[in-house]
A and B are shown apart, each in its own frame.
Chain A
């Protein structure tokens, strides 16, 4: 029965880890009884008072010590002389003799200390405790199984950082490995476990084991005190050593002022968002389709316009109607021309083929033209903010602006270029409607005046399909534009019947063009010498001639300065003659001289030139038909 009891205790002993002993048994004992004498103090009641092993431990894998308890001395017997004997298997076999403990003192009372000379690792040991010669306890183990390091030393902490809220802080806890553990040579490798808690707490908080000798502890509250302790164990072992001394962590108290929790009214945010919201609303209004609101917020800048003229008429190209309306307005009449009387005395020569085509125009002009029923539609008189195509600045700078078509119906006053621009614009419209060659003003006087204008225009244009060319020729003669406005004064009538116009007003020679076509422009531009203030009609003709090819409006960009330019009678004629022919080349025409002698010096402002022709190559003197510079003159005259 003892055997069974022993076996039972063995079974329990195997599962308990109170005693970390190996399973080695001394061979001698094994052979003797096939029973192990492993006493488990837990099971065995200590009432008998026998000494028992409590713990065997090696702190650094170099030495080890074993401790036992004295038996409870409730028995009358004295405890007896306790001895410890050990045995180790140095070779394959167990030695037969048991050796006594070499040191009963160093490890304290009831202990046996084995120093390094007596310690061998990876070798099974068996110890037995005897009392009065009788074995009371026995144990077997290997030293590497009973390693339990000493506690770390030298704990200290440093502040890592404090959170922005001033409530929490992080610290770094450092320590030194136990001094007897030879970590430096790598004989033993330790890992550490840190535990901390608030002072008045009961539960320790554990951190994961670390191999290093320092570890950060995060998120400690600043107004609390903490306790920290560390313990170590050999890596791969299960048993920890004792805890180190407790380290008290007192964190610096933050001043209460630092934590400002006042609520400040976020003025800046309100202002910013207010502005943003207002901007959004403003943009909504601006870009919304609500015209009325738009008017309120962004009142349109009124542009000059003529009452009763509907800009839509321009768009549709119904220039006759517009002209009619314009003619109706008596307001403008007195301003257009200085002298009314001459209007009635104009004779128009319509011999030329071209002029015949124009004749229709002149007919229209002369006869108080009501043929073409100009549906003077109810011109809306709204002051919508549509830009006119002949605002002065636009005229001067760049008439390319597409507002030409969108110009108001307002006819420019003679002082302004607007009329001409308008005229040009009208011409533009005319092109779209070839049928309606020219806008025919219906009124008498203005009609006649316009007739002049129209005559000059068609003359220039030559009644070519693209009437625009004439318009552009007119463009090319800024003087005509500048000076003529809508009406021009005829200064003289040539024997041929051509009309010589004189400049009306001295205006800026900003020439506006409607619908410029760059191709023609470039062609025309190349021929002009910029330094020459005068503009050769031949050049203009060239421009015109080029146009039919392209079937676009010729664009003659005037390179004129702010000087008056005259149209020679010859030029007028020749231009007329050229109408209808798509030919280029001035040679086929009446040769317009590249230079002309001065016929009349009319005024400081103008010259009338003779049409005497000295046929010379045009190219050199293209730009000098009206005026010969001294250089060119020298060239011509050797």
Chain B
């Protein structure tokens, strides 16, 4: 019996080692989000989701800043557009926190939902922005390409955020709230100046909102993943 027990132990030891090594491997592999798009039961860690989301939001903000600056240089010189930016952005009505205290006091679920709302609100305007920008006379390729890229990345960020919400708030199915954008007619105005100003305003709002989203996500990441110790 002793020999049997020993042999069992000896046999289980490599098995145990195998198991442990597998766990370690799994852990290291899990650091890379390897979910193929469309996979049903794919589970990527929250940390990876947030990392990716922050990268995307940062990227989008960069693109929108550059795009705005280029548009400003190209079209808005001497036109006094800034004079007319009375219009607020279509997302200004959303109850987004405006300073650090407010943001810290906002619960992360609410903040996540706000982010989702803002992202959804921009789906439509971005689509039209790209469509209308193609018709813009002498549109530089850089502006157009950036617009296209922003549209694409916005969709991806929205997907990622929905995944995050799914993990953080499993089971909660919220109505898809978003702000309606009604600036399309302005983008299609016959008057060049009016049209350009509409673009200008839109790009300005885009830059601002992308900055907001970027900030919120970084805040959430440090709060949820790193426990306020980034």
Contact = CB atoms under 8 A, between A and B. Distances in A.
22 contacts: A10-B83, A11-B77, A15-B73, A23-B83, A23-B85, A61-B100, A119-B99, A120-B99, A122-B208, A123-B98, A140-B82, A144-B211, A182-B100, A183-B230, A185-B219, A185-B223, A185-B230, A186-B221, A186-B222, A186-B226, A187-B103, A187-B219
B99 A186 contact: no
A34 interface: yes
Contacts of A89: 88
B58 A235 contact: yes
B218 A189 contact: yes
Contacts of B98: 120-123
Interface string A158-188: 0000000000000000000000001111110
A140 B204 CA distance: 14
Contacts of A15: 73, 77
A236 interface: yes
Interface in A79-123: 89, 92, 94, 116, 119-123
A25 B88 CA distance: 11
B101 interface: yes
A22 interface: yes
A23 B78 contact: no
Contact of A184 (B100, B104, B214, B230): B230
Nearest to B103: A187
B179 interface: no
A385 interface: no
B85 A24 contact: yes
A515 interface: no
Interface in B85-126: 85-86, 88, 92-93, 96, 98-101, 103-104
A25 B82 contact: yes
Give the size category of B's interface with A. 35 or more
Contacts, number: 99
Interface in B66-86: 72-73, 76-78, 80-86
B83 A34 contact: yes
Nearest to A7: B80
A394 B59 CA distance: 90
A184 B78 CA distance: 42
B28 interface: no
B219 A10 contact: no
A65 to B, nearest CB: 16
B97 to A, nearest CB: 9
A182 B104 CA distance: 12
A7 B78 CA distance: 7
Complex A-B, nearest 3 residue pairs according to Cβ-Cβ distance, in ascending order? A23-B82, A186-B222, A120-B98
B212 interface: yes
A182 B218 CA distance: 12
A92 B92 contact: yes
B219 A24 contact: no
Contacts of B41: none
Nearest to A60: B100
A142 interface: yes
A23 B81 CA distance: 8
Contact of B82 (A24, A27, A144): A24
Contacts of A62: 99-100
A36 B218 CA distance: 36
Nearest to B221: A186
A580 interface: no
A10 B212 contact: no
A30 B86 contact: yes
A236 B215 CA distance: 11
B83 A116 contact: no
Given A34-B83, A144-B211, A185-B222, A11 B88 contact: no
Contact of B101 (A116, A144, A183): A116
A24 B99 CA distance: 19
B82 A236 contact: no
A236 B61 contact: yes
Nearest to B80: A10
Nearest to A10: B80
A387 interface: no
A25 B86 contact: yes
Interface string B197-230: 0000000100010011011001111110010111
Nearest to B93: A92
A182 to B, nearest CB: 7
Contacts of A606: none
A41 interface: no
Interface string A1-39: 000000100110011000000111101001000111000
| Chain B CB within 10 Å, residue with most, of A34, A89, A121, A189 | A121
A121 B99 contact: yes
Given A15-B77, A122-B96, A144-B208, 8 more contacts: A10-B82, A23-B81, A23-B85, A36-B80, A122-B211, A123-B98, A124-B85, A186-B219
| Chain A CB within 10 Å, residue with most, of B65, B72, B99 | B99
| Chain B CB within 10 Å, residue with most, of A30, A89, A94 | A30
| Chain A CB within 10 Å, residue with most, of B62, B72, B84 | B84
B85 A116 contact: no
Nearest to B228: A185
B83 A30 contact: yes
B229 A184 contact: yes
A25 B197 CA distance: 14
Contacts of A35: 83
Nearest to B64: A236
Nearest to A89: B88
Contacts of A187: 100, 103, 215, 218-219
Contacts of A189: 218
A36 to B, nearest CB: 5
B57 to A, nearest CB: 10
Contacts of A30: 83-84, 86
Given A23-B204, A34-B83, A236 B58 contact: yes
Nearest to B229: A184
